[in-house]
Structure 1
Amino acid sequence: MSNQTVSRPTRVAQEIRRTIAQLLVQEVKDPRFQNISITDCKISKDLSIAKIHFALMGFNENDPEVAETLAALEKAEGFFRSEIGKRLRLRIVPHVRFYYDNIPEHAQHMEMLINKALNS
Structure 2
Amino acid sequence: MVKYRGGRINEEVKKAVSSIIQNEIKDPRLNTLISVTKVEVTKDLRYAKVLVSILGDDKVKTESLNILRKSAGFIRREVGHKVSLRLTPEIIIELDNSIEQGMHIDSILEKIKETSKNDN
Task: Pick the TM interval, shorter chain.
Answer: 0.7 to 0.9
* 1:66-110 residue CA offsets vs partner (Å, 9 max, x unmatched): 221121111111111111111112220000001111111110000
TM-score (norm 2): 0.85
**Which position in structure 2 is the counterpart of 1:84?**
79
Aligned residue number for residue 30 of structure 2: 32
Instruction: Measure the CA separation in 2 of the matches of 1:56 and 1:107.
Output: 14
| The one of 52, 69, 75 aligned to 1:54 | 52
- Give identity over the alignment, percent: 30
Mapped to 2, the partners of 1:54 and 1:33 lie a distance apart of 15
Change (3 A) 1:96 1:67: same
Larger Rg over CA atoms: 2
Map of 2:14 onto structure 1: 17
Cα distance in 1 for residues equivalent to 2:104 and 2:24 = 32
Instruction: Note the aligned Cα RMSD (angstroms).
Output: 1.7
Larger helix proportion of the pair: 2
Tell me which amino acid in the other structure corresponds to 2:91: V
Q: Distance in 1 between matches of 2:36 and 2:30?
A: 14
Unaligned runs of 5+ in 2: 116-120
